């Protein structure tokens, strides 16, 4: 083979690699469950610090198939959901890479994977089959089905058992180097989430029987929980936040007489964590505070002093702009992104947000964005009903927007959970609505307050437990 031909072959090879990175990522499948008419994919969040990701709702066609093309630049994870609110309810995390052609078959036994991109998802199906998903281990503890001591015994050896699964793969199911690194890194992150679940449970139950700081002393150092190579994973910053709250911040506050937990967290943020991890953690805290309508000048100033990562700097800069835009909304008629958000009433009649709000003109509107899967939302409903009764002589309306998807039993469950059949609507596009995107919010519960003319008074209103005096003041 002459030199020119070799050069042509090599050039074509590298062009093919570049082309692969630009190919559409496709997820397609066959649904063998007649009762399923829609499938949603949510996630694809390429900002590991802050953001709400994307959501796609796909209708199943007459041939019981579906197909979606997604533009992604790097390995990403998302959640596939269908049958929510029914006995077929399924929510499963899947991984996709640029250029994947992932094929799914959904039937009574679950989801099977084929095509390009199947290997990593088959592996995670084995993880689930071996009860090694984090939620499979954490849920029994959080639901008080097992003791903290039993939970810790279950968690021991987690990383070794997860790694063993990849070592046992047949040649045809072997992962690429990149995906193998992803799996190993995610296993390390998941193990740390499992440790934090024990600390979280102990914190809220005030469990004094088990000294977790002593038990995990070799596994909860800053060095064990920080790794700048993990900053591209969207759950890493979430891990750091939990670590700062339940471990490091708590440890600092306990060792310093008179120092509160949140002061301990800020010390840990500014003094304990270093490098890119510190910049990402600080950026997330600042973005979270701004999203709650709070500007912490000390944290912002410290971030500006140490920040070198351009991505983190841009994320904070964008959050500050968004914060200023939100503050400008207060006391004014609703923004067009609110006004044009599509809702549906309990008879599935669609209407715009501003049409809904107009129907309550002359009343103070205390609005909650919620979902049936939100435990704090449901826990506060009895308080809301009691409060509604106590101020029933005032022009105050309690209005509810659910992010849940429509199904045959949705409103029955909504009425039961909320303890009322009045003033219910559904966000047709869920947390992907224009309002949610504009406010950069997917969290529930989310409380908003509007005056009698429909002007926005507060986009982060107090919860029912503490809003009473405010509602009385506005309603008189």
Q: What would the mean pLDDT of 40-46 be, rounded to a whole number?
A: 86
At 23 the pLDDT is: 60
User: How many CB atoms are located within 10 Å of the residue 447 CB?
Assistant: 19
Tens of pLDDT along 153-171? 999 999 999 999 999 998 8
CATH 3.40.30.10 location in the chain: 336-475
Mean per-residue pLDDT of the chain: 91
Say whether pLDDT at 16 is over 60: no
At 14 the pLDDT is: 38
To the nearest whole percent, how much of the chain has pLDDT over 90?
A: 77
At 295 the pLDDT is: 92
Residue of 388, 400, 401, 399 whose CA lies nearest to 472: 388
Say whether pLDDT at 8 is over 50: no
Residue of 123, 152, 38 whose CA lies nearest to 85: 38
* pTM (predicted TM-score): 0.83
At 329 the pLDDT is: 92
Tens of pLDDT along 390-423? 999 999 999 999 999 888 889 999 999 999 999 9
Residue 46 and residue 73 in contact, taking contact as beta carbons nearer than 8 Å: yes
Lowest mean pLDDT among 23-27, 93-97, 262-266, 385-389: 23-27
Tens of pLDDT along 207-225? 888 899 999 999 999 999 9
Say whether pLDDT at 288 is over 60: yes
Residue burial 388-407, b: 16+ Cβ < 10 Å; e: rest: beebeeeebbbbbbbbbbeb
- 110-116 and 364-370 strand pairing: unpaired
Tens of pLDDT along 318-336? 999 989 988 899 999 999 9
CATH of 336-475, one of 3.40.30.10, 3.30.2320.50, 3.30.300.20, 3.40.109.10: 3.40.30.10
Give Cα separations from 48 to 43, 188, 236, 240, 281 (angstroms).
11, 17, 8, 12, 10
Say whether pLDDT at 350 is over 90: yes
Residue 248 and residue 240 in contact, taking contact as beta carbons nearer than 8 Å: no
Say whether pLDDT at 438 is over 70: yes
At 69 the pLDDT is: 94
Give Cα separations from 201 to 144, 210, 262, 265, 298 (angstroms).
10, 11, 19, 19, 31
Residue of 321, 328, 330, 313 whose CA lies nearest to 460: 330
Tens of pLDDT along 177-208? 999 999 999 999 999 999 999 999 999 998 88
CATH 2.60.40.180 location in the chain: 21-116
| Selected residue with higher pLDDT from 432 and 281 | 281
Q: Report the alpha-carbon distance of residue 285 to residue 279 in Å, rounded.
A: 10
Give Cα separations from 22 to 69, 97, 120, 150 (angstroms).
12, 11, 20, 48
Q: Report the alpha-carbon distance of residue 265 to residue 249 in Å, rounded.
A: 4
Token readout for 155 is 């968690």
Cβ within 8 Å of residue 320, ≥6 positions away: 290
Would you give the distance in Å from CA 324 to the centre of its chain?
24
At 407 the pLDDT is: 85
Say whether pLDDT at 9 is over 60: no
Say whether pLDDT at 22 is over 80: no
Say whether pLDDT at 84 is over 70: yes
Q: Report the alpha-carbon distance of residue 74 to residue 71 in Å, rounded.
A: 10
Q: Report the alpha-carbon distance of residue 234 to residue 442 in Å, rounded.
A: 15
Q: What would the mean pLDDT of 248-268 be, rounded to a whole number?
A: 92
- 101-107 and 25-31 strand pairing: parallel
At 18 the pLDDT is: 39
Q: Domain 21-116: which topology?
A: Immunoglobulin-like (2.60.40)
Q: Report the alpha-carbon distance of residue 407 to residue 213 in Å, rounded.
A: 46
Residue of 46, 117, 120, 53 whose CA lies nearest to 76: 46
Say whether pLDDT at 347 is over 70: yes
| Res. 42 pLDDT band, cuts 50 70 90 | confident
């Amino acid at each position: 083979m002459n030199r020119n031909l070799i050069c042509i072959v090599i050039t074509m090879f590298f062009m093919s690699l570049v082309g692969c990175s630009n190919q559409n990522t496709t997820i397609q499948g066959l649904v063998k469950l007649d009762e399923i008419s829609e499938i949603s994919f949510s996630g694809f969040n390429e900002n590991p610090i802050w953001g709400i990701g994307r959501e796609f709702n796909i209708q199943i066609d007459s041939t019981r198939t579906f197909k979606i093309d997604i533009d992604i630049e790097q390995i990403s994870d998302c959640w596939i959901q269908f049958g929510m609110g029914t006995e077929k309810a399924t929510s499963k995390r899947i991984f996709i890479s640029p250029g994947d052609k992932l094929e799914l078959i959904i039937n009574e036994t679950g989801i099977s994977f084929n095509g390009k991109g199947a290997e990593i998802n088959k592996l995670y199906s084995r993880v689930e089959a071996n009860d090694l998903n984090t939620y499979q281990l954490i849920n029994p503890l959080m639901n008080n089905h097992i003791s903290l001591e039993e939970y810790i015994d279950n968690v021991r050896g987690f990383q070794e058992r997860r790694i063993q699964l990849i070592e046992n793969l047949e040649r045809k199911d072997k992962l690429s180097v990149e995906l193998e690194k992803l799996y190993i890194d995610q296993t390390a992150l998941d193990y740390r989430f499992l440790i934090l679940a024990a600390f979280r449970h102990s914190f809220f139950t005030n469990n004094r029987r088990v000294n977790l700081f002593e038990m995990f002393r070799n596994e909860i150092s800053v060095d064990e929980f920080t790794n700048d190579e993990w900053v591209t994973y969207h759950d890493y910053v979430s891990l750091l936040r939990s670590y700062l709250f339940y471990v490091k911040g708590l440890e600092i506050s306990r060792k310093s007489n008179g120092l509160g937990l949140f002061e301990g967290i800020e010390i840990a943020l500014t003094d304990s964590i270093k490098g890119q991890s510190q910049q990402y953690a600080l950026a997330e805290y600042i973005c979270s505070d701004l999203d709650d309508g709070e500007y912490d000048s000390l944290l912002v100033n410290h971030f500006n002093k140490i920040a070198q990562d351009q991505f983190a700097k841009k994320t904070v800069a964008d959050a500050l702009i968004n914060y200023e835009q939100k503050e400008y909304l207060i006391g004014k008629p609703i923004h067009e992104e609110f006004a044009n958000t599509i809702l549906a009433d309990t008879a599935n009649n669609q209407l715009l947000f501003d049409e809904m709000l107009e129907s309550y003109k002359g009343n103070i509107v205390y609005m909650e964005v919620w979902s049936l899967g939100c435990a704090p939302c449901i826990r506060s409903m009895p308080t809301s009903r009691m409060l509604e009764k106590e101020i029933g002589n005032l022009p105050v309306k309690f209005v509810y927007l659910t992010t849940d998807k429509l199904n045959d039993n949705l409103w029955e469950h909504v009425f039961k959970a909320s303890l009322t059949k009045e003033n219910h609507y559904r966000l047709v596009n869920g947390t992907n609505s224009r309002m949610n995107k504009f406010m950069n919010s997917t969290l529930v519960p989310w409380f908003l307050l509007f005056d009698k003319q429909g002007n926005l008074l507060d986009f982060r209103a107090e919860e029912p437990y503490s809003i009473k005096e405010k509602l009385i003041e506005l309603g008189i």
